[in-house]
Amino acid sequence: MALSKIDIPRRAQHFLECGIEDCERNCEFYCNPCHQRLCKQCSEEHLKSPENKNHEVVLYQQRKRQLPVEKCKIHPTKDVDMLCEECQVPLCSKCATRGDHQKHTFVDLEAVYAEKFALIQQEISKIQEYFLPTSQDLQREIKKDSSQIKHIMDNIRTSMKTEGETLKSLVDTVISENMKQLDQIEHSLLEDINTQDKTMDDYITYLNNLVKELHRCLTSTETQKLMSEKKPTIRSIPETTKPVIPGFTAGQYNKSDVTKLLGKIHVSNTKAEKRNIRPIESVYNTAMKLTHKQMKEDRKKSDKKQTMSLSASVTKVREFNVPGVDDVHHVSQDQSDRLWISDLYGNLVQTDLQGNVIQKIKTSGGFGYHTVTQGGDLIFTDKVKKVVNRITKGNNITEFIKTGVWVPLSIHSSHINGDFLVGMMTNKEVKVTRYSKTGKELQNIQRDNKGQGLYSYPLYITENINGDICTSDSVKKAVVVVNKSGQHRFSYTGHESEFRPYGICTDVLGHILVCDGFSDTVHLLDQDGQFLSLLLTQQQGVYIPRSVCVDDENNLYVGQYNTKTLTVYKYLQ
């Protein structure tokens, strides 16, 4: 199928334009000698000119910084454009002829400026990649220590109070037992005293009665009767005992004894240990190695990109069936010779490029719910448990991120920085969240600059080469694109008919490819959201396309609803 060429409408998004007059195309390249922004076409024309054939044309991101214009203070008509290496003084060409600089060596100030600029950028990178994160980690550790100290002190206070309450309870128990014993002794003593008192009372009554009897004898008129009266025998006085009163021996204790009972606070004499600060070499050098490696890979990709272009037609390369799935709703590239393929019902299989199943797992299902990291780990969402799982090369499944009340629907692992982009929703809200490669939440993207919600149902999500986050939202019937800062760039709502987007991916040229379930087509957009063509239609046998994936060899994989067949196409040359 021939790719149609259309005019870019006036409503196209703003981008960095080519610096050639009357050229409104996107700037991709830069001529270092001319300090000129160039699009691909203009860069080719630029190098065709004989006077420019030796010019250094590079990707815009790899450009040399232009030396700021500064007039010489001695020669105001001349620009300062060289550096005296001996004196380390910026000069103009006229100053270089002065006697005090004769026989000195001069270098291009612009080259020195570019080098200094790079060094400063490197220092900024050091601060951002090492000093700031390390300091922030230490600050978090300090705050954690503060919280831990409070927790430990509260525990000590609780222990001290518990010891005091325990001792108080023991004191109360001992006093209670002593009081009870004293009450018993008092009762026993009083009972004995009362018994003795009654005994004496009875004896005194007896004596009084005896006295009365004897008095009657004395007053009797009958002499004979008195003479015959026997001498009375008086009973002995009953014996009584004095009570034995108990004594009380006060306890012998002092503050030291109480301290021993209640415990004592111990302050360690150990010298405070210095906090561990990661050496900059362990972080920055590794980061620099990764950066250099990434730059090298980027240069390779850039070189390849400069030679890549859209083919005049789309060619079907091959197709194969995928056992273990009912259809092909999503495809994630694993290694160069392996794929992860899923259907709508939670069947997720790993296959080779011939469709031979390597392994299969059961998941909660979904649409664009799995992705593969740069390190080769499979990451997939579980919308039931509301977690993001990780499967390492050892096939160990671990819960990697817990999303709380948010249901994770779609996920993509960035090939730029390793971050994870997760489309998720609750009953009332929808958002895309960026997590670091360690699972730390970094960014929430939810609304545009007018406060309106960006998403309705983010089924699939991907990232473009410029860092744009591209989300396929079938409920909103749009491809929603924001930049890496979360600012809304554009929303693509179809071409000349109703649009129902599903699977989405991008390629090495920054194209956006998206399945349209309404018209049974695959749309091709540029990275600014402009429609380029219907890349695949029913004429190529496409029926209800659901998934698209472009691998490192620029092969396009297309999966469809209600069939296990995965079809491979070539559309770049």
The full DSSP string for 483-535 is: -TTS-EEEEE--SSS---EEEEEE-TT--EEEEETTTTEEEEE-TTS-EEEEE
What are the domain boundaries of the chain?
308-572
Residue 47 backbone zone (phi > 0: left; psi -120 to 50: alpha; other: beta): alpha
**Secondary-structure breakdown of the chain: helix, strand, coil percentages, each rounded to the nearest 5:** 30, 30, 40
Q: Running along the chain, 573 residues long, what does each successive block of 10 average in pLDDT?
A: 36 64 87 88 89 85 79 88 86 81 80 80 82 87 88 88 88 91 92 93 92 82 69 87 87 82 77 80 53 50 60 91 94 89 93 92 94 92 94 84 95 92 93 93 90 94 94 95 92 91 94 94 94 92 94 93 93 89
**Given the DSSP bridges, would you call strands 488-492 and 310-321 parallel, antiparallel or unpaired?**
unpaired
Residue 433 DSSP SS3 = strand
- Write the CB contacts of 497 (distance below 8 Å, at least 6 apart in sequence): 518, 519
Among all chains, which residue has been given the structure tokens 């037992």? 177
Instruction: Tell me what pLDDT residue 15 has.
Output: 57
Q: Which two tokens stand for residue 87?
A: 């004196």
Please say whether the beta carbons of 96 and 84 come within 8 A.
yes
Instruction: Tell me what pLDDT residue 406 has.
Output: 95
- Say whether domain 308-572 belongs to CATH 3.40.50.300: no
Q: What are phi and psi of 470, to 5 degrees?
A: -110, 120
